[in-house]
Amino acid sequence: MRTSNYNKTFKTVKPAYQAVALTGFLLSGLTGFAQSEATGVKNTAAHASISSTEGRNGLADLSTRTIQQIEKGVEKIHIGLVYPLSSNGKHAPLDTNNLSIHLLAGVSSVEKGFTFAGFSNIVRNEATGTQIAMFSNHISKKATGLQIAGFLNTYEEGDGAAFAGFANIAKGNIKGVQFAGFSNIAKDVKGAQFAGFLNKANSVKGSQLAGFINIARKNVSASQLSGFINKAEDVKGSQFAGFINIAQKVKGIQGAGFINIADSSDYPIGIINLVKKGEKSLSLTMDETQTSMLSFRSGGKVTYGIIGIGYNFKNKKEVYAMEAGLGAHWFQSSSFRLNTELTATVLENFKAGEYFKSSLRILPALSIGNHLELFGGPSLNFLSTNTTEGKDLHQKFIHTWGDRANDFQALYLGYSGGIQFIF
């Protein structure tokens, strides 16, 4: 009875099916029809290779012979509307198919080739090849090949690539890549995760890239890049986040818009860097404009961040100072090192006008005991101001732009020095 129903159904949809069957055959590749044990299909593939020089006639011949062999039962196909209205009927959840096409949703035990559904594909065991659904693919065990869904892909384990408009969720490990508009979730990842909002895994032998947050409970072998926060245990590559990075040990660069937190990180790049095995200090400095700053410097063995507040003793109105920047230690020894810093300083009266100065400082430093350090040296400065007091702070310039009556910019040499307590 099932054979008779199958033949009637197939003859009804045969004209439309020929085009779709060829598409599925080609998409499946080695993971689809080419995995078949039927020697007839292998001969078909060989024939297609030999007749590739025959252009359109060869392609048409491939399509015709594929259809003929499917009609003979060489390949198991499953076509229908929605379970159980299909060629496999109520037995569909128990069947293994090489090609499945459903207008709405299809159910099967195993898929070994190309699977398409207008809404959802449901595979109760393994799937190999290509699964495409306008809304979701659900594979209860391992998915090998390619999964494309308009909204969601779920599977136990994966070996290949998964693309979803919203999320890819793997209960186990994956080998390959996950691309999602919102989130990717897996256990151990050997490959990469790309998400519009969130990537989450136990460990990643590869990279994570997310619009907002990356989470790896254990190690990351390459890098994490996110718009806001990265979190991992040990990172053998680098972390870059718009706001904060959190890790235990980082071998590469930790780059954050504001703060880095780690047990060990030699190259943090952030305004605040709380590195357990790094260095932190409080410093008092004075520069050529009589601006005194109380600053907090924090970082690793090489790079560090700077943030500070201060007061200008030369001005009467614009007296409140703030600075932020990055620095690096060079030629380090027990008693001497060379610090270089790139900082931005503003003077404010919180009413009107602006004074902005960016500086490149070269600061030789001499250690006094284990916790004190004296430093000082020249600086190259770029000034931009529209206030009278800001323009009068400097007299000699390397080069100027604008005029003193309006917006004024200048390049000039200055100096700074101070003392810091290291802890």
pLDDT > 90 in the chain, percent: 79
Residue type, 86: S
| Residue 194: per-residue pLDDT | 98
Which whole-number Å values give the CA distances from 296 to 68, 248, 306, 366, in the listed order? Answer: 78, 22, 6, 18
Q: Which long-range contacts (CB under 8 A, 24 or more apart) does 274-279 make?
A: 274/298, 275/299, 275/300, 278/304, 279/304, 279/422
DSSP 213-247: EEEESS-BSS-EEESSEEE-SEESS-EEESSEEE-
Burial class for 199, CB neighbours closer than 10 Å (0-12, 13-18, 19+) = buried
Residues 121-147 have a mean pLDDT of 98
Q: Give residue 342's pLDDT band: very low, low, confident or very high (50, 70, 90).
A: very high
Neighbouring residues of 72: CB distance < 8 A, sequence distance ≥ 6: 40
What's residue 35's pLDDT? 38
Per-residue model confidence as pLDDT tens digits over 161-184: 999 999 999 999 999 999 999 999
- pLDDT band, very low/low/confident/very high, at 225 (cuts 50, 70, 90): very high
pLDDT at 253 exceeding the cut of 60: yes
* Interhelix angle 2-28/56-71, nearest 10 degrees: 150
Confidence at 142, pLDDT banded by 50, 70, 90: very high
SS3 211: coil
Is residue 272 within 8 Å of residue 307, measured between CB atoms? Answer: yes
Tokens representing 251 are 């071998």
In angstroms, what CA-CA distances link 237 with 65, 175, 251, 276, 313? 52, 19, 6, 19, 46
Q: What is the pLDDT of residue 406?
A: 81
Work out the pLDDT band at 405, boundaries 50, 70, 90. Answer: confident
Range(s) within the chain of domains with CATH label 2.40.160: 279-422
Give the Cα separation of 92 and 407 in Å (integer). 77
- Of 56-70, 289-303, 310-324, the range with the lowest mean pLDDT is 56-70
Does residue 415 surpass a pLDDT of 80? Answer: yes
pTM of the model: 0.79
Inform me whether the pLDDT recorded for 240 exceeds 60.
Answer: yes
Indicate the pLDDT class of residue 321, thresholds 50, 70 and 90. very high
The sign of the CA dihedral 373, 374, 378, 382 is positive
What pLDDT sits at residue 75?
Answer: 62
Q: What is the pLDDT of residues 11-58, one digit of tens each?
A: 444 444 444 444 444 444 433 333 333 333 333 333 333 333 444 454
Per-residue pLDDT tens over the stretch 295-315: 999 999 999 999 999 999 999
Task: Give counts: helices (H), strands (E), the chain.
Answer: 4, 34
* pLDDT greater than 80 at residue 289: yes
Look at residue 70 and tell me whether its pLDDT is greater than 60: no
What pLDDT, in 10s, does the model give residues 75-128?
699 999 999 999 999 999 999 999 999 999 999 999 999 999 999 999 999 999
Residue 234 pLDDT: 96
What's 279-422's CATH class?
mainly beta
Share the mean pLDDT of the chain.
Answer: 87
- Within 8 A by CB and 6+ apart from 76, the residues are 95, 96, 97, 98, 99
For residue 366, the cross-strand partners are: 336, 374
